[in-house]
Amino acid sequence: MKKYEKIILDSRTPDEYVDNSLKSKLTPAEKAALARVWMQQTGFTKEDILHARNRHPYWKKKKMEGADERTQRRLAMHDYTKGKTVVWDQKKLQEFLELNKKDASGRYMHKDWELAQKFGTTIPSIQYMRRKYKKVRDLLGPKARKEKIIEYMGYSEIVLSNGGPEKRR
């Protein structure tokens, strides 16, 4: 048994396993075989290793490489404005509220880019509207009338953050 194999197999926690695996000079195939053995010995799972890996500074840094470029490409790819500014009138706001629902697991039923495409806008614009909607719901409560929600959605995020139009007077 190689020195690095023993060090990896002697790891007591997934964090230690990830750290020792990074320090080793073993091939990915050798590490994969060791991972199976280590999980059988310790009772830890693949999810435990992935969780530790996602928290490790080396892998965090690796994951973030090129993130700005990926974000810019994604935003450019999903810009549906065609050079026009979208005006959120009552009809569009009402339609947005209908489509801005969550499923049983708490996830939005329509992705940001799908709504951006539907309303001819951008992903940041949809994210802004979702933030505004959350602020309106926080201000008005769960039993607010749809007309009142639409009225408040017409106010800026700053006005809503400051307590709504009633607080401004």
pLDDT in tens, 139-151: 999 899 999 999 9
Q: 151 and 83 in one domain? A: yes
- For the whole model, what pTM was predicted? 0.62
- Domain with 20 in it: 3-64
Residue where a domain terminates, one of 24, 40, 64: 64
Whole-number Å distance between alpha carbons of 6 and 10: 6
Total number of domains in the chain: 2
Question: Residue 167 above 80 pLDDT?
Answer: no
Phi, psi dihedral angles at 144 (to 5 degrees): -65, 145
Asked, for residue 133, whether it belongs to a domain, the answer is yes
pLDDT digits (tens, 9 = 90+) for 31-48: 999 999 999 999 999 999
The answer to whether residue 48 is domain-embedded is: yes
Specify if 72 maps to a domain.
no
Q: How far apart are CA 102 and CA 87, in angstroms?
A: 24
Pair 38, 10 in one domain: yes
Whether 149 maps to a domain, the answer reads yes
In whole angstroms, what is the distance from residue 125 CA to residue 10 CA? 51
Q: Are residues 96 and 164 in the same domain?
A: yes
